[in-house]
Chain A
Amino acid sequence: DQQVKQNSPSLSVQEGRISILNCDYTNSMFDYFLWYKKYPAEGPTFLISISSIKDKNEDGRFTVFLNKSAKHLSLHIVPSQPGDSAVYFCAALTGGTSYGKLTFGQGTILTVHP
């Protein structure tokens, strides 16, 4: 049973436009959410996170939105750049000391065209 789902396997956008990556979850015990970015032949790298007590967190061009009632989060990248082309993974944590026990989504391949 996939507790974190990224239903779009891929997304293609034009440079300068907005990229919106979506993620849904089913476990109401999740209270911390993260986005990781992965280039080919490299490990995932942390991008941005959000606590369940917030509904938005912003870091430069990256903003994550959380809708707890809908169990949905999204990552917005504005403006998109060709270097943003990568696989993006949504991940979630439950409370307490589960700091490393992330549950990941399947990933979305983002391609930004010049």
Chain B
Amino acid sequence: NAGVTQTPKFQVLKTGQSMTLQCAQDMNHEYMSWYRQDPGMGLRLIHYSVGAGITDQGEVPNGYNVSRSTTEDFPLRLLSAAPSQTSVYFCASTLKGTGGGYNSPLHFGNGTRLTVT
């Protein structure tokens, strides 16, 4: 059982370049999300999706795009990379669950470390 798989593990971009961070889960989870982790800031929500074809913005969405064409995949696109997007990116998923999903904690991937020069 692979869980949540993120690729690549590491990436270096130049300012202005674009790229896609991949995320796939094999647990048939309806809910998927992207977080970024920065020193002293904890993890902050970028975008999330409650099912195929449905996405919404989180706390820090600027500079990022997402789409959800299948239940399994939730790629994160950087349109024009900036040094401020240097961070560690985590994809996470969970079942919607019952009662608001309180019994369904997020399952995280192992992250993508992105450096923008």
Contact of B100 among A41, A43, A44, A96 (CB under 8 A): A96
Q: Is B58 a contact partner of A99 (Cβ separation < 8 A)? A: no
A-B contact count (CB 8 A): 73
A91 CA / B108 CA spacing, docked (Å)? 14
Contact residues of B: prevailing secondary structure: strand
Q: Mark B5-38, 1 if CB is under 8 A from A, else 0.
A: 0000000000000000000000000011101000
- For window 64-103 of chain A, which residues contact chain B by CB distance below 8 Å? 89, 91, 93, 95-103
The yes or no answer to B97 lying at the interface (CB within 8 A) is: yes
Q: How far is the CA of A45 from the CA of B3 in the complex (A)?
A: 12
Q: How far is the CA of A32 from the CA of B40 in the complex (A)?
A: 23
B2: interface (CB < 8 Å): no
CA distance A1 to B19 in the complex (A): 30
